[in-house]
Amino acid sequence: MQWSVHQNGPKSVDHAVSVALKYEAFYASRKKQGMPRPVRAQSEIEAEQNETAVAVRKFEQTLEKLTQLMNMLRTVVPFTVYQCQKCPVGFPTAARLSSHEEQVHGPQDVCPFAGCRVSFPRQNPDRMHRHIQRVHPVLRRGSPVGQSVANGKRMKQRPVVGPTMVEAVVDEELPQIEY
């Protein structure tokens, strides 16, 4: 018997095992159909049991090799059916490919701040909002330039409000400690 890899690849290891079991059952039934069932001596029954045990061991070895092959294929060559036309990435399902195309190659919004060329997918505006909060927090509230994010127009400079430094006058002198 020659094992051949499925043209589309097995769906899972369980599927490959079920195909192998069905083949073994089919092969065993064909073997039984071709032979008449005579009355057998005890030695013939033992011989058949030994033959069955050998067949089971061979099947288990073949199954182990098939499992190893499936694991190797899973780690070495990822199972990809749907290939992206714009970049060298493959996906196992059409839904994942379309999601990739929308997120990576879809329409993009660019950060509105000068010099920042970060872009984000249009269908996810929260990512740009989060970027502006994290990367441009001072600019978002009104930069020294006065650039407003909301409408893109210059806005009136806000006065800097914060704690003022007051110099305190100390009248008494601290004691000198010698070490």
pLDDT of residue 97: 87
Using only C-alpha atoms, the chain has a radius of gyration, in whole angstroms, of 37
Structure tokens at 107: 């329409």
Q: Higher-confidence residue: 83 or 165? A: 83
CA dist., res. 2 & res. 84, Å (int): 34
Please report, for residues 18, 54, 64, 106, the alpha-carbon distance to residue 57 in angstroms, rounded to integers and kept in the order given. 17, 5, 10, 54
Domains of the chain, by residue range, sit at 1-32+53-79, 80-107, 111-155
Bridge-based pairing of strands 119-121 and 108-110 is antiparallel
b/e code 26-65 from CB counts within 10 Å (16+ = b): eeeeeeeeeeeeeeeeeeeeeeeeeeeeeeeeeeeeebee
Using the predicted structure, report yes or no on whether residue 111 has a pLDDT greater than 80: yes
Tens-place pLDDT, residues 144-155: 444 444 444 444
142: left (phi over 0), alpha (psi -120 to 50) or beta: left
Is 15's pLDDT higher than 70?
A: yes
- Residue-level pLDDT at 38: 54
Q: What is the pLDDT of residues 116-162, one digit of tens each?
A: 888 877 777 788 888 888 887 765 455 544 444 444 444 455 555 55
Q: What is the pLDDT of residues 38-89, one digit of tens each?
A: 555 667 667 777 888 888 889 999 988 888 887 776 665 556 678 888 888 8
Q: Identify the CA nearest to 128 among candidates 143, 141, 145, 116.
A: 116
Query: Residue 33: pLDDT band by 50, 70, 90 thresholds?
Result: low
- Give the predicted TM-score (pTM) of the model: 0.28
The percent of the chain in helix, strand and coil, each rounded to the nearest 5, is: 45, 5, 45
